[in-house]
Amino acid sequence: MNKPASASSLNSNLVSRKFKRPSAMALAITISLTGLLSAACQDTTNSSTTGEEGLKLGTLTPSTGDLASIGAVFPDAVRLAVDQVNACGGVNEQSVELIVEDSQTDPNASLNAMTKLTELDRVAGVIGAFASSVSTAALPIAVRNKVMMISPGSTSPVFTQQAQKGEFKGYWARTAPPDTYQARALAKLANQKGFKRVSTAVINNDYGVGFEQEFIAAFEKLGGTVVNKNKPTRYDPKAATFDSEAASAFGTKPEAVAAVLYAETGSLLLKSAYQQGLATGVTVMLTDGVKSEDFAAQVGKNRDGKFLLAGAIGTVPGANGKGLENFTKLWTEKTSKELTPFVPHSYDAAALMMLAAEAADANTGEGIKSKVLEISNAPGKEVTDLCEAMELVRNGEEINYQGASSNVDIDQNGDVIGDYDIWTVKSDGKLDVTGTVSPET
């Protein structure tokens, strides 16, 4: 392969590509709204599959909506990876372009954003979505247009089942492990805490219900009882109030409640439980979607100024890849922001996209799909530095990329395996990571 990465070659190549595709901009401008909607209903092929343009990537993550408190920084991680690669030669001798779209944590809004990314912007890959319900809505559009999706956090087990059936045709992967594993980890944590009677309260979507079912199976296998198993508490995020759901989950006097929530609406459910006096003596067990100090503040304080959520515990996919230390330094230096959950996973998703496109010698979704397993798994030289990895791939060498989030050994279903951090809410609302738990039971 051996592709030079000088600035002059990048510029000359970009100029030559521009003259090869003189009508691309005009075509994009003249697409009417009617034409765009019509294309969304047909089996189309993304025109970026010609490979004559530079690599275009998009993000579809929540800058607003129910998961904004955790997802607003994800595009920063993706842009960090893109800027790194552009500074050290780009992909296939051209600069990478990044287009950021807000999923709004809303499957309906995401349909418009994903259609724009695939059929107007003609991206080859999308880093996203985060909410599993949004990925469920967006994936058919990606598959139809042969666009690769790598999610940093859509963890529903449903995606594994669909991938096994071949529904995604290889255009799907994720850098966070599925909730098949996290549910087992949370069940194991509940068992370690000595809980025998637990209830569940989950958001009524793929994420919440999938997690609930896996948790029940794992907790019962460990000898525990889920007291509302036959009448599970599943809340509609669009409901006006959550008083009845809070009473359903907490009213059976469980020792703990496994609450699988989104931040904005889940905080209202928990606040209602405390206000009704139902949560006294009950440990709230949380998951990744609400791991933020903002969430503790949303639930609120009691009259003594103590955070209601103090003492709650939870799990979150850990970041323990060989590249984490270097990434953490880079993140702190370039952004001055806190390194929050799923930020390393977002960075790794972008890194895998660019490495796979380089390995395929094609700036297309088909190219990325064809090489993403190869560059993320053995055999190959283990490498953590993104620019070093790009150079090795340019020279035709096999690599086994070691990410910041994990070793990102993606399997045939697009899944990775990981351990989980245990976190707790302190009396001042701050969060503290207290250990790790393995999903193995």
Indicate the domain borders of the chain.
7-177+321-401, 180-318+419-437
Task: Determine contact, residues 59/75, Cβ cutoff 8 Å.
Answer: yes
Residue type, 74: F
Domain 180-318+419-437's class? alpha beta
Give the list of residues 6+ apart from residue 414 with CB closer than 8 angstroms, or none: 159, 160, 163, 168, 172, 173, 174
Model pLDDT, residue 343: 97
pLDDT reading at 318 higher than 70? yes
The rounded mean pLDDT for the chain is 89
Q: What is the dihedral of CA 376, 379, 385, 389, to 10 degrees?
A: -90
Q: Which of 25-29, 133-137, 165-169, 337-341 has the lowest mean pLDDT?
A: 25-29
Q: Six-digit token pair at 269? A: 């459910």
Model pLDDT, residue 19: 30
**Helices and strands per DSSP (H, E), number in the chain:** 17, 15
pLDDT reading at 14 higher than 80? no
C-alpha distances in Å from residue 339, one per residue of 73, 308, 344: 9, 25, 8
More confident residue, 43 or 86: 86
Q: Six-digit token pair at 306? A: 């103590």
Domain 7-177+321-401's class? alpha beta
Which parts of 359-429 are beta strand (E)? 381-383, 399-401, 420-425
Q: Six-digit token pair at 169? A: 């045709």
More confident residue, 166 or 39: 166
pLDDT reading at 289 higher than 70? yes
Task: Determine contact, residues 431/293, Cβ cutoff 8 Å.
Answer: yes
Mean pLDDT of 82-97: 98
Cβ-based neighbour number of residue 236 at 10 Å: 12
pLDDT reading at 1 higher than 50? no
Model pLDDT, residue 23: 39
Model pLDDT, residue 52: 64
Please provide the distance, in angstroms rounded to a whole number, between the alpha carbons at the two ends of the chain.
Answer: 46
- Model confidence at 12, pLDDT cuts 50, 70, 90, reads very low
Name the residue among 394, 400, 361 with its Cα closest to residue 124. Answer: 361
* Helices assigned H by DSSP within 145-178: 158-164
Structure confidence by residue, pLDDT tens digits, 266-277: 999 999 999 999
Q: CATH topology of 7-177+321-401 equal to that of 180-318+419-437? A: yes
Q: Order of strands, edge to edge, in the sheet holding 56-61? A: 97-102, 56-61, 125-128, 148-151, 172-174
The Cα 226–Cα 255 span in angstroms is 10
Q: Six-digit token pair at 63? A: 């800058």
Model pLDDT, residue 50: 44
Model pLDDT, residue 331: 98
Please tell me the pTM assigned to this model. 0.81
Structure confidence by residue, pLDDT tens digits, 15-67: 333 333 333 333 333 333 334 333 334 334 444 444 468 999 999 999 999 99
Name the residue among 415, 428, 421, 355 with its Cα closest to residue 391. Answer: 355
Name residue, tokens 């972008």.
350
